[in-house]
Structure 1
Amino acid sequence: MELKDIQNLIKFVAKSGASEVKLEMEDIKITIKTGSEKTETTIVQQAPMGMPQMGMPGQVAAPVQAQEAVSGTNTATEESKFIEITSPIIGTFYRKPSPDKPVFVEVGDTVNSDTVVCMVEAMKLFNEIEAEVTGKIVKILIEDGTPVEFGQPLFLVDPS
């Protein structure tokens, strides 16, 4: 795979709205993670047998800006103390990992920053969405199987 092909892949993933894509071939592994404005690419390419391994040619890395998936809300006086968990990508919202499994979280459940609260499917890739905040789920704002937009509130969390 040439550098030009990698650059085209990065552009395609950035436009697609996917948050992470992994590509593994015989001699190369590529992981592309997208953030709010920038794309991070990690490429691991093994040198052919018998050749000294100098630098890794074709390694491209752009720092990713942390994407804030949680923002405060001030829509109503009583809801102003709650924190929103928002969708980091465009896709379809799912409360369960699969149709025959239980939901990730219910109203009243306590979550911490690394608790998976839902999945958002974008282009046949299922992205686990973490709470990124500690607190108690007080309201689920989206129905299962509903399309969501970037930044759309999914849950309300009481941080107290």
Structure 2
Amino acid sequence: MLKVQEIREIIKLIDQSSITEFNYETNGTSVSLKKGTHGATTVVNEPSQVTETTAVQIQRQSEPVQEQAIEKQAEIIEEKQEVKAENSDYDFEIVSPMVGTFYESPSPEDDPYVTVGSKVDSNSIVCIVEAMKLFNEIEAEVSGEIVEVLVENGELVEYGQPLFRVKKK
């Protein structure tokens, strides 16, 4: 598998040389670079290893004009998210303090700690995030009402990922 940094280095080398076309294939991964008058174009074919984000990063590296367009689109998306957050019916998001597995109750046969409509205090336990066989109780941190549960029981969560939305009292 080629790493993004390795692909970037190949792009730089092709950009600095007089080579107009470059193909590389290894272990089911193929990289094809073609350089024209408008800069390098990169195509990466790797069945399950390269994500859209990686492709966008490669395009940003190889085409400065397109980079400006992508940044502009990102700014527009961020503005829309801010407007959506301002117009929403919640004041606070309870986020995961770690990477782990989300559990809505202390055991499979117990009821969830909270559901939509539940009232919570700042020290109310809202869920458990299990990391490395340690079960960490997550507190609400604010007083209010749960207006949205954003993850499913047993789902993997990332650090900083929103778990619940709360309307403060």
Report TM bin, short chain: 0.5 to 0.7
- The equivalent of 1:65 in structure 2 is none
Q: State how far apart, in whole Å, the 2-side matches of 1:156 and 1:122 are.
A: 22
Residue 78 of structure 1, CA deviation: 2.4
- The reply on whether 1:94 has 2:103 as its aligned counterpart is yes
- The equivalent of 2:143 in structure 1 is 134
Verify the 8 A CA contact 1:83 1:158 in the aligned structure 2. yes
**Counterpart residue type for residue 100 of structure 1:** E
Q: State how far apart, in whole Å, the 1-side matches of 2:153 and 2:137 are.
A: 14
Q: State how far apart, in whole Å, the 2-side matches of 1:88 and 1:145 are.
A: 16
Q: 1:114 to 1:126 in 2, by over 3 A?
A: same
Verify the 8 A CA contact 1:110 1:136 in the aligned structure 2. yes
- Give the RMSD, CA atoms, in angstroms: 1.6
Residue 75 of structure 1, CA deviation: 5.9
Q: State how far apart, in whole Å, the 1-side matches of 2:83 and 2:135 are.
A: 30
- The equivalent of 1:18 in structure 2 is none
Residue 82 of structure 1, CA deviation: 2.0
Q: Which runs of 5+ in 2 are unaligned?
A: 1-80
Verify the 8 A CA contact 1:142 1:154 in the aligned structure 2. yes
- The equivalent of 1:152 in structure 2 is 161
Q: Which runs of 5+ in 1 are unaligned?
A: 1-72
Question: Could you tell me the TM-score, scaled by structure 1's length?
Answer: 0.52
Which deviations, in whole Å up to 9, do the C-alpha atoms of 1:64-103 show, x marking residues without a partner? xxxxxxxxx9461322742000000110000010001110
**Counterpart residue type for residue 102 of structure 1:** D
The number of residue pairs the alignment matches comes to 88
Secondary structure, aligned partner of 1:142: coil
Q: State how far apart, in whole Å, the 2-side matches of 1:89 and 1:156 are.
A: 18
Q: Higher helix proportion, which one?
A: 2
Question: Could you tell me the TM-score, scaled by structure 2's length?
Answer: 0.49
